[in-house]
Amino acid sequence: MTSIHRAVLRITCPDRAGIVSEVSGLLFRLGLNIHHADQHLDAEANLFFQRIEFPVPEDWERVSAELKKALDGMGMHSSLRRLSERLRVGVLISKHPHCGLDILDRHRTGELHCDVPVVISNHADLGPEISRRGYTFVHEAIAGNKAEQEQRILARLAEERVDLVILARYMQILTGNFVAAYPNQVINIHHSFLPAFAGAEPYRQAFRKGVKLVGATSHYVTEQLDEGPIIAQGVTRVSHRDTVKDMERKGRDLERVVLAEAVRCHLEDRIIAYGHKTVVFE
């Protein structure tokens, strides 16, 4: 059975004895067969997390309603989705093409199971390349009024019924109003030097310090700049022989892979965000 014919249940609740038995017993009584289950306990926060996959039953509407009602009665926060229900993704991009085009190529080949109704940029440069791939490209220039530009973007995302926003090297800081519209639904990518080498030319700063590792971090966006819950990270070695351009190339490669991994995990409901952290089920 392919993954799109499965449903995913995610659960968060205070830890107590018997949770696994209660949930598995509930699924059994509803006639549901567990194909995969994973769990985690944050002992410090006393929180229990679980992700369960099971085949979608024929009477989905009845079963899902009964399941949700029972879990609410057990004091559990839960989410339930059929993986065949494709999330709608909006991609925001600036002038750097590597992450945005990589996401679109992974989508076109079926690696990322979602719909991409719109790609929006504050620059027109990548419009022809994105349109050539068959995607709708929208140029929203800032033109001196960033607040109005952001409102236009939010309006377009709402019109397209977007569930997830990907900042594929979108080189603008989002306002609290934007973040509030998509809580834990905006994924960003940046180099992992922050906060050590913040500001302009971070790779040149790192080169001058003689670093031996470069990396990339993908995270959910919050109002605190680059401090949202981390989803995925990656690192690779550099040496004294590497130039600034070598380090930038290695960093771009990592950014592609790490961003794609974070997006895949979100699309497959593998992430539970809480506080400043995430549980990511592999």
**Which sequence positions are flagged as catalytic?**
226
Per the CB < 8 A criterion, the answer to whether 254 and 215 are in contact is yes
Instruction: Name the nearest CA neighbour of 278 among 238, 228, 241.
Output: 228
Angle, helices 244-267/98-108, rounded to nearest 10 degrees = 40
CB under 8 Å to 140, separation ≥6 — which residues?
120, 121, 122, 149, 152, 153, 156
Contact criterion met (CB below 8 Å) for 164 and 191: no
User: 27 in helix, strand or coil?
Assistant: helix
Question: How far, in Å, CA of 211 to CA of 246, rounded?
Answer: 13
Write 200-208 long-range contacts (CB < 8 A, 24+). Answer: 203/244, 203/247, 203/248, 203/251, 204/244, 206/247, 207/242, 207/243, 207/244, 207/247
Rounded distance between C-alpha atoms, residue 203 and residue 170, angstroms: 18
Identify the three-state secondary structure at position 241.
coil
